Amino acid sequence: MQVEYSKQAAKFISTQNKNTKLRVKRGIEGLTQSPPKGDIKPLQGYINKTYRLRIGKLRIIYRYDTRINQQQILFISDISSRGDIYK
């Protein structure tokens, strides 16, 4: 499974310290497994099936997409703290 990041998610990861980057990386690796691992809940109000992964006070908003060649993609749309992510 291929993982793609939005510009905002990549920027968030690049600004974090080493420990936080490692925690986020482990969480995203859990999402690539079948079935996905972690504290996952579906989000309401989104057009596509969008989910959130909780890692402490951080939230990762993501969805699964399928390309034309049937390759599945994990698209990370946003990563932020609990208070800022849903705004």
Say yes or no to pLDDT of 13 above 90. yes
Q: Does a structural domain hold residue 8?
A: yes
* Structural domain count of the chain: 1
Which CATH number do you get for residue 43?
Answer: 3.30.2310.20
86 or 58: which carries more pLDDT confidence? 58
Q: Does a structural domain hold residue 85?
A: no
Return the bridge partners of 64, or none. 74
Q: Residue 43 region, left (φ>0) first, then alpha (ψ -120 to 50), else beta?
A: beta
Q: Does a structural domain hold residue 86?
A: no
Task: Please state, as a whole number, how many other Cβ atoms lie within 10 Å of the Cβ of residue 73.
Answer: 13
Q: Does a structural domain hold residue 75?
A: yes
Q: Does a structural domain hold residue 25?
A: yes
Residue pLDDT, tens place only, 24-83: 999 999 999 988 999 999 999 877 889 999 999 999 999 998 887 888 899 999 999 988
